[in-house]
Amino acid sequence: MLYDVTIDGKNHRLELTRAGGRWSCRLDGRDLEIDAVLARPDVLSLRIGDMAYEVKSERVGDDLHLWVGSTRFAAEVRDPRSLRGRSRSADDHGPRKITAPMPGKVVRLLVREGESVELGAGLAVVEAMKMQNEIKSPKKGTVQKVLVGEGATVNAGDVLAIVE
Amino acid sequence: MFNKILIANRGEIAVRVLRACHEMGIAAVVVYSDVDRAALHVRKADEAYPIGQATAAESYLNIPKILDVARRSGADAIHPGYGFLSENAKFAQACADAGVKFIGPSAAAMNAMGSKTRARQAMDRAGVPFVPGTSRGVESFEEAEQVAARVGYPVMLKAAAGGGGKGMRLVHAPEHLKSSLEAARSEAERAFADSEVYIEKAIVNPRHIEMQVLADEHGNAVYLGERECSLQRRHQKVLEEAPSPIVDPDMRRRMGEVAVRVAEAAAYTNAGTVEFLVDQEKNFYFLEMNTRLQVEHPVTELITGLDLVHLQIRIAAGEKLPFKQEDIKLRGHAIECRIYAEDPDNNYFPSPGRITLLLAPSGPGIRRDSGMYEGWNVPIDYDPLLAKLIGYGTDRDQAIARLTRALGEYFVGGIKTNIALFRRILRDEDFRAAKLDTGFLDRMLQRAEDKRIDSRAAEVAAVAAGLFAALGSTAQGLAAQEAPDSTTGGGSKQPSNGPGSNWKNASRREALR
């Protein structure tokens, strides 16, 4: 299996093959001697050479993080032969989806559809655990769509609005 | 002794009290709101009663509903935990009127302490040391000006009915007094429906040290040593330890005796905590009394060997304190970390949601009081405290070492927590040298964290990312219920390693090659 792996923004080419219950691994052109056991869902016991690691996998919405010990890495894994799963690049020119960073309740909408907004302008206020968080516009532009109403309950990753 | 206790709370403290009940052979009745049906305290209870909507006023703060459950369940007593109704004198009185024992002080003792200015007048008479200032709310701006000039700037404005930092303002210079006074008053009015504000000299970089007291209903009161609670953010405690690194036996005895006098002045019974501000010369000033069990009570339990909840229950049942002051011996050192569901990368904003993976630490010197479990959805409606991790050692260094080790074992996936913050605190040089004050945490957080890029770990992550994708990040079979069907192929925005489907996808790809 061939993977393009991005770890904290840095791209790696990873080749994994399994034969006779053993893995062989090539990372960025270097052969690594590895041995892996999935100890339980989302927890991998990994040996590279004689070094032992416990790696945890955490997926929330579309975001994948891997924890090596107590260090967290943002990860993306793509199959280079597939068109799917291309990196969703941040595009300042196209429309941007504004998502809820955590579950909560939309207590106030600060903009209406068609309104122009500056970079950093407040779009909505989401409340969770008695704390209010203002969701800010990531770009200067026009509010193309508002997808939630005041009082709506949202989950992490739900799209609140689209700024064009 | 009671046969049945109703626990009028939720989260880790409800579980903590429930455990004490079971240890004492007492049945535990819990109440829960609509969003807490699956909460841990309900899972562990003997009887559980729904009491309404998530909004606390409709459930955990609703006195008639809770008393109705007490009546229906036949509970002898109610333990209020902390927060919610724990310091509500009306509730304590309503329990007494309904013939159910409130496990805590009397309504009269709470009333004496609840208003900070009234507490102050009672304490003044008992010879308790205070920060210079007014012992009652200021009537006018002119009066505020005079008091501030007399005690000297900086001064602190505080809401008489306040708590949790609301209605508090630090004023450095006379020209800011007027606007700050107005702001504190309106904030106090909004938060507590009481705009009374008083003025104190602000102690710069104080330590926050509190003394645990226990008083029975037969006139006996003891102190159980202090807790150092100087590590705070937004006036909320984050990490506590006992004993305080700066308190020696003589200071402990003096603070303890003042704390007992405070309790006696209010005819206080059950467990309570007397909070002090301590200045750089180790002068201590009475701040307030908390008329409940504290979040941080475990550190006192570990160094005294006592169980405060057992003792609360025994005191409420009418028993005498089973020891005298000279029997209380402190041993070792304990440190507590409050594990909050909050996002360090988003200014510690609350982070509720589903816990996808929970790996809990254990081993020597580790205690964990938790209200969460894997698969549970942390609701958006309540305080973000998930659990408390407490490390104990023969001395402070060993407690730090054990706690650091345990934090490395602790993993909460799916939501954000402040676990990493504690690793940073515990390796901080000033923390290790016990140079603590209430500004410590804000100063530490202002310094950029030295984040070394560990290329070896990044390489491990890269290899693991591929292995998770190849194996299915969740083990085969176990994941079936979670797996979205990603066989729909191209055009899906789902990355190719969507949970559960990978095993299937991987073998399919293998077969194609």
How confident is the model over B170-227, as pLDDT tens digits? 999 999 999 999 988 888 888 788 888 989 899 988 999 999 999 999 999 999 999 9
CATH number reported for the structural domain that contains residue B306 in this entry: 3.30.470.20
Which structure tokens are listed for B47? 């009887």
Query: Least CA distance to B490: which residue of chain A?
Result: A84
What are B45-57's pLDDT values in tens digits?
999 999 999 999 9
Which residues are CB-neighbours of B247 under 8 A, at least 6 positions away?
B209, B226, B228, B255
User: Which range among A80-89, A152-161, B372-381, B492-501 has the greatest average pLDDT?
Assistant: B372-381
> Is 90 exceeded by the pLDDT of residue B26?
yes
Other CB atoms within 10 A of residue B226 CB: 29
- The 3 state secondary structure assigned to B371-401 is CCCCCCEECCCCCCEEEEEEEEECCHHHHHH
Place B511 in a pLDDT band, splitting at 50, 70 and 90: very low
**Can you tell me which residue has the tokens 């291309």?**
A86
What is the identity of the amino acid at B410? Y
Strand B411-413 relative to strand B155-159, pairing? unpaired
Would you say residue B253 lies in a domain?
yes
Q: How far is CA B488 from CA A2, B328, B370, B491, B496, in A?
A: 21, 68, 41, 8, 11
Which residues are CB-neighbours of B363 under 8 A, at least 6 positions away?
B402, B405, B406, B409
Q: Quick check: B380 and A10 CB within 8 A?
A: no
- Cα B127–Cα B188–Cα B132 angle in degrees, nearest 5: 25
Q: How far is CA B21 from CA B29, B45, B79, B445, in A?
A: 10, 10, 10, 40
> Any idea which fold A2-78 has?
Glycoprotein, Type 4 Pilin (3.30.700)
Interface test with B, best of A70, A89, A158 (most B CBs within 10 A): A70
Which one is predicted more confidently, B224 or B140?
Answer: B224
**Can you tell me which residue has the tokens 């002119």?**
B142
Q: How far is CA B198 from CA B151, B154, B155, B283, in A?
A: 13, 14, 10, 21
Would you say residue B376 lies in a domain?
yes
In this structure, the answer to whether residues B139 and B235 fall within a common structural domain is no
Beta-strand ranges (E) seen in A61-130 are: 63-68, 71-78, 96-99, 104-109, 116-117, 122-128
Measuring CA to CA, which residue among B303, B278, B314 is closest to residue B224?
A: B303
In this structure, the answer to whether residues B311 and B273 fall within a common structural domain is yes
CA B85 to centroid of chain Cα atoms:
15
B419-448 residues touching A, CB cutoff 8 A: 420, 423
Catalytic center residues of B: 292
Interface test with B, best of A31, A34, A35, A42 (most B CBs within 10 A): A42
CA atoms within 13 A on the CB side of A13: 6
* CA-based torsion, B46, B293, B315, B102: positive or negative: negative
Place B232 in a pLDDT band, splitting at 50, 70 and 90: very high
**Can you tell me which residue has the tokens 């509730």?**
B91
**DSSP label at B344?**
G
In this structure, the answer to whether residues B265 and B117 fall within a common structural domain is yes
Report how far apart the first and last C-alpha atoms of chain B are (Å, whole number). Answer: 73
B37-66 residues touching A, CB cutoff 8 A: none
Other CB atoms within 10 A of residue B425 CB: 25
Would you say residue B452 lies in a domain?
no
Q: Quick check: A131 and B350 CB within 8 A?
A: yes
**DSSP label at B174?**
G
Q: Is B454 on the interface with A (CB under 8 A)?
A: yes
Candidates A57, A82, A153; nearest CB to B496: A82
**Could you tell me how many residues make up chain B?**
513
A57 SS3 class: strand
Interface test with B, best of A102, A107, A125 (most B CBs within 10 A): A102
Q: How far is CA B427 from CA B230, B423, B434, in A?
A: 17, 6, 12
Q: How far is CA B254 from CA B64, B179, B226, B267, B279, in A?
A: 43, 39, 11, 20, 15
**Predicted pLDDT at B163:** 66
The CATH number of the structural domain formed by A96-163 is 2.40.50.100
How far B268 CA lies from chain A's nearest CA (Å)? 32
> Is 90 exceeded by the pLDDT of residue B234?
no
In this structure, the answer to whether residues B432 and B503 fall within a common structural domain is no
Place A93 in a pLDDT band, splitting at 50, 70 and 90: low
For residues B144-150, give the mean pLDDT.
Answer: 92
In this structure, the answer to whether residues B76 and B14 fall within a common structural domain is yes
In this structure, the answer to whether residues B429 and B359 fall within a common structural domain is yes
ipTM: 0.79
Report the alpha-carbon distance of residue B138 to residue B143 in Å, rounded: 6
Average pLDDT, chain A: 88
Domain interval for residue B22? 4-103
Place A130 in a pLDDT band, splitting at 50, 70 and 90: confident
Q: Which residues in chain B are closer than 8 Å to A34, comparing Cβ atoms?
A: 463, 467
B236 SS3 class: strand
Which structure tokens are listed for A103? 């579950």
- Longest Cα–Cα distance in chain A: 62
Would you say residue B453 lies in a domain?
no
**Predicted pLDDT at B149:** 92
* Backbone phi and psi for residue B114, each to the nearest 5 degrees, phi listed first: -60, -45
CATH number reported for the structural domain that contains residue B84 in this entry: 3.40.50.20
Place B370 in a pLDDT band, splitting at 50, 70 and 90: very high
- C-beta of residue B11 within 8 angstroms of C-beta of residue B39: yes
In this structure, the answer to whether residues B364 and B225 fall within a common structural domain is no
A79-138 residues touching B, CB cutoff 8 A: 79, 82-85, 88, 101-105, 127-131, 133
Candidates A58, A62, A73; nearest CB to B357: A58
CA B113 to centroid of chain Cα atoms:
20
**Of B421, B447, B473, which one is at a domain's C-terminal end?**
B447
Give the start-to-end residue ranges of the domains of chain A.
2-78, 96-163
**Predicted pLDDT at A92:** 53
Other CB atoms within 10 A of residue A93 CB: 8
What are A20-73's pLDDT values in tens digits?
888 999 999 999 999 999 999 999 999 999 999 999 999 988 889 999 999 999
Q: Which residues in chain A are closer than 8 Å to B494, comparing Cβ atoms?
A: 62, 84-85
Which structure tokens are listed for B146? 């005079």
- C-beta of residue A164 within 8 angstroms of C-beta of residue A144: yes
In this structure, the answer to whether residues B235 and B318 fall within a common structural domain is yes
- What are A44's strand-pairing partners? A38, A55
In this structure, the answer to whether residues B126 and B147 fall within a common structural domain is no
Report the alpha-carbon distance of residue B27 to residue B235 in Å, rounded: 37
Q: Which residues in chain B are closer than 8 Å to A9, comparing Cβ atoms?
A: none
In this structure, the answer to whether residues B382 and B238 fall within a common structural domain is no
Would you say residue B273 lies in a domain?
yes
Candidates A34, A42, A131; nearest CB to B474: A42
In this structure, the answer to whether residues B406 and B474 fall within a common structural domain is no
Measuring CA to CA, which residue among B413, B376, B295 is closest to residue B42?
A: B376
In this structure, the answer to whether residues B31 and B148 fall within a common structural domain is no
Q: Which residues in chain B are closer than 8 Å to A48, comparing Cβ atoms?
A: 459-460, 463
**Of B331, B346, B365, which one is at a domain's C-terminal end?**
B331
Place B21 in a pLDDT band, splitting at 50, 70 and 90: very high
Domain count of the fold of chain B? 5
Candidates A38, A46, A131; nearest CB to B460: A46
> Is 80 exceeded by the pLDDT of residue B381?
yes
What are B304-339's pLDDT values in tens digits?
999 999 999 999 999 999 999 999 999 999 999 999
**Of B286, B311, B331, which one is at a domain's C-terminal end?**
B331
Q: Quick check: A27 and B352 CB within 8 A?
A: no
Other CB atoms within 10 A of residue A29 CB: 7
What is the identity of the amino acid at B400? I
Q: Is B509 on the interface with A (CB under 8 A)?
A: yes
What are B441-488's pLDDT values in tens digits?
999 999 988 777 788 999 999 999 999 999 874 444 333 333 343 333
**Predicted pLDDT at A97:** 86
Q: Is A67 on the interface with B (CB under 8 A)?
A: yes
Candidates A59, A66, A127; nearest CB to B461: A66
**Predicted pLDDT at B59:** 97
Structural element, H or E, at residue B217: none
Place B288 in a pLDDT band, splitting at 50, 70 and 90: confident
Q: Quick check: B466 and A101 CB within 8 A?
A: no
Interface test with A, best of B455, B467, B474, B478 (most A CBs within 10 A): B467
* Backbone phi and psi for residue A163, each to the nearest 5 degrees, phi listed first: -110, 125
**Predicted pLDDT at A127:** 86
Q: Is the pTM for the entire model greater than 0.80?
A: yes
Q: Quick check: B458 and A104 CB within 8 A?
A: no
Query: Least CA distance to B413: which residue of chain A?
Result: A58
CA B276 to centroid of chain Cα atoms:
17
> Is 90 exceeded by the pLDDT of residue A158?
no
**DSSP label at B363?**
S
Other CB atoms within 10 A of residue A32 CB: 17
CATH number reported for the structural domain that contains residue B144 in this entry: 3.30.1490.20
What are B245-262's pLDDT values in tens digits?
999 999 999 999 999 999
Q: Which residues in chain B are closer than 8 Å to A71, comparing Cβ atoms?
A: 454, 457
Average pLDDT, chain B: 89
Candidates B460, B474, B509; nearest CB to A53: B460
For residues B388-396, give the mean pLDDT.
Answer: 98
